[in-house]
Structure 1
Amino acid sequence: MLKGYLRQDGKKGIRNYALVAYTVECAHHVAREIQYNFRDKGVHVIGFHGCAPNDYANQMMQALCTHSNVGAVLIVSLGCENLNKEALEKQVIASGRPAKTITIQQSKGSRNSIDIGKAWIKQQVEILQNTPTVNMAMDELIVGTICGGSDATSGITANPVIGKVFDSILEQGATAIFEETGELIGCEHIMAERASTPELAKQLVKTVDKAKDYYMKMGFGSFSDGNAKGGLSTIEEKSMGAYSKSGNSKIKGIIKPAICPTTSGLYLLDVVPDGEPMFGWPNANDNAEIAELIACGSHVVLFSTGRGSVVGSAVAPVIKICANPETYNNLAEDMDINAGKILNGEATLNEVADELEQCILNLGNGKLSKSEELLHQEFQLAYKKFNQLEPGCLPG
């Protein structure tokens, strides 16, 4: 049993954060100054850097500001940007959360805006810290997964561990989301065999084909120099390792960023933009993908890494599962789970999977992840374009 914070829509979060959400890079400094003194009190900064309009950014910001882990939102605007701050505030208020917008151009500049924001956030923090928790069942939990800094050990230890945990929590009624379609190239037909319907099987293949086409047109694949130095030989080898994070359960559907699963089960998150390449690299770094997993409702994100990554995230905690024992020894303060013990013969795959599942339960009862303890709250939101989901992607 977990402990959660009940929201007006009936959903529950495992955290009760306040967000300071900037609507353009020009307001980022003011937002950061408001948040800084509260960064260890559950106040996070998120935002969109761009000035040109983008539907994806509006949808992502609305999804994140009404996420189950969020209890209050302060919107910080310059005043002349294109992100729809009025719609964002309305969405937050309609969800039952307190919201306030500060427009720097109308609030006598940076200093006064910072003072107004600090006073409002201080008030909200006091309210949020006194919010009672309620019981939360496993079938109310959504868990996302990503791998970053992969090496030759990732597909042998950490990724299969995540797959086993996915199978276990899915049996208990939870929802699980995996993604990185650009790193599933070569696995599409294997994955399609696990589809819950023939229509979904076709869409799974089509989604990976889209990613392959996108990367070919951009002139690069989802395979870095760091992957090669870590012992990975080909995109196919990397793909097989990344695919193992999904486990063996039936795949229920495909979703896109800011779309939450309609029913419990296992879902593939399609993160590669639709249409001809317009915005460059689909995900500039791991945090852009983490934000998309969270925007789809993930309460927590399982992050597998072989070479090592120290990032966390705003809005939802990140659990680090280290695949490589040498990396774990170097970065023990940043890692939650040492899956490298499997290579050393110190633990079995099942034992580490049990350890990871217990780590998720502990997180759902208030314990902090390593990245939370270190106040890692990275966040990035880029320009993207997505079409509507096609028929057959969702159950029913």
Structure 2
Amino acid sequence: MTMRGWLRSDGRKGIRNTVVVGYLVECAHHVAREIALPFREEGVHVIGFPGCYPNAYAERMMERLCTHPNVGAVLLVSLGCESFDKRALERAVRATGRPVETIVIQGTGGTRKSIAAGRAFVAAQRAALDAAPTVPMDVSELVIGTVCGGSDGTSGISGNPAAGRAFDMLVEAGAACIFEETGELIGCEHIMAARAATPELGRELEASVAKAARYYATLGYGSFAAGNAEGGLSTIEEKSMGAYAKSGASPISGLIKPGDLPPRGGLYLLDVVPDGEVRWGFPNINDNAEIAELIACGSHAVLFVTGRGSVVGSAISPVVKICANPETYRRMEDDMDVDAGRIIEGRATLDEVGAEIRDLVIGLAAGGRTRSEELAHQEFVLTYKSFEPIGPACLPAA
């Protein structure tokens, strides 16, 4: 397979050349969605922040997403009276050389006029991007994230270990791989610390999980859904061991937070639990919030492991569905990319499924598409959070 990408001004390469339509408050969501609707099969994706009040995390996330290597042009849709700093975001996007335009609904004259103006911009940019040349791309230039959702008793036996094996192969080839979530790694912190590149990083890994445990204890609710128990998981510790398996066995190179970009290839833990006092509610209200954070860290694609079955995809970056449960795969084959349940039934080895996942990821940069892309899934969620910058111990090799 010959990998190819679209070269961006910062030297990164995208495996997609998407037009993003970003709404800057929920009041502009409908207009943004209507702008993108005629282009839903043509690489035009809707993202946005629903809040009317300012939040530094959300503004940073939107900047990282709008300047993601998979994005070629950006249309911002503002109502006009929200607190989001639309001009700062527009300047940040323009500084990267990407075409960008901001529609202010109150100034443009309402819904119909804004939709018409937005569609004209998108159509022009889509035509230009379709003619844009590509350049060769290497595996070492990839950033890949992983998450699990709709987990059951098979997730930690087949799907998550297979994703971890693919991570090992990709890291060995020089790619950057990101796993999360600290709230689902409780009990595994000491094991992770032993894999850290430095003792100082190991202590940071332990502290991130301890923060998550405190956060969930304050909420009185852990990252353990009723569906997990119905699927055969007994405790958060059992779920944590399965989730931890997604990280593979490579040394851990660093700890990052949403919007941080891995400085080089290696394995990174993404800390998604807000810093400070508990004031934002549940850290991630669903799997798509975690996917968005992985993408904001530069992930070209996201590996999504599920046992009970999930149908979500994402805007901007392809989502690769890895099904851990063979019965679920047979029932929901149209939504799944990889049948990891073959490991349980003895029809494939862990190495074989791991290599299949690796090859599928590489194939995405050679023109391949995921099932969620074919089905036009573009789910997206962004909420309020707050984070402090990471310290020097978090990226010891930077």
The CA deviation at 1:76 is: 0.3
Distance in 2, matches of 1:120 and 1:387, equals 37
Distance in 2, matches of 1:31 and 1:90, equals 20
**2:27 counterpart residue number:** 26
The CA deviation at 1:390 is: 2.3
User: Secondary structure of the residue that 1:385 maps to in structure 2?
Assistant: coil
**2:373 counterpart residue number:** 372
The CA deviation at 1:350 is: 1.1
Distance in 2, matches of 1:392 and 1:9, equals 25
User: Secondary structure of the residue that 2:302 maps to in structure 1?
Assistant: strand
**1:47 counterpart residue number:** 48
**2:13 counterpart residue number:** 12
AA aligned to 2:361 is I
Answer yes or no: is 1:151 the counterpart of 2:152.
yes
**1:131 counterpart residue number:** 132
The CA deviation at 1:395 is: 2.1
The CA deviation at 1:355 is: 1.1
Distance in 2, matches of 1:352 and 1:326, equals 17
**2:246 counterpart residue number:** 245
User: Secondary structure of the residue that 2:144 maps to in structure 1?
Assistant: strand
AA aligned to 1:72 is A
Report 1:315-394 matches (<5 A). Answer: 315-394=316-395
The CA deviation at 1:391 is: 3.1
Distance in 1, matches of 2:302 and 2:85, equals 28
**1:287 counterpart residue number:** 288
Report 1:1-396 matches (<5 A). Answer: 1-396=2-397
Distance in 2, matches of 1:379 and 1:152, equals 27
User: Secondary structure of the residue that 2:92 maps to in structure 1?
Assistant: helix
1:120-167 Cα deviation digits (max 9, x unpaired)? 100000011111111001111000000000000000001000111111
Distance in 2, matches of 1:210 and 1:339, equals 32
The CA deviation at 1:200 is: 0.2
Residue 169 of structure 2 contacts residue 355 of structure 2 at CA under 8 Å; is this kept in 1? no
1:303-328 Cα deviation digits (max 9, x unpaired)? 00000000000010000000000100
Distance in 2, matches of 1:205 and 1:354, equals 31
Q: Please list every run of 5 or more consecutive structure 2 residues that lacks an aligned counterpart in the other structure.
A: none
User: Secondary structure of the residue that 2:34 maps to in structure 1?
Assistant: helix
User: Secondary structure of the residue that 1:63 maps to in structure 2?
Assistant: helix
User: Secondary structure of the residue that 1:333 maps to in structure 2?
Assistant: helix
Q: TM-score, normalised by structure 2?
A: 0.99
Distance in 2, matches of 1:225 and 1:185, equals 18
AA aligned to 1:171 is E
- Following superposition, which runs of at least 4 residues in structure 1 exceed 2 angstroms of deviation? none
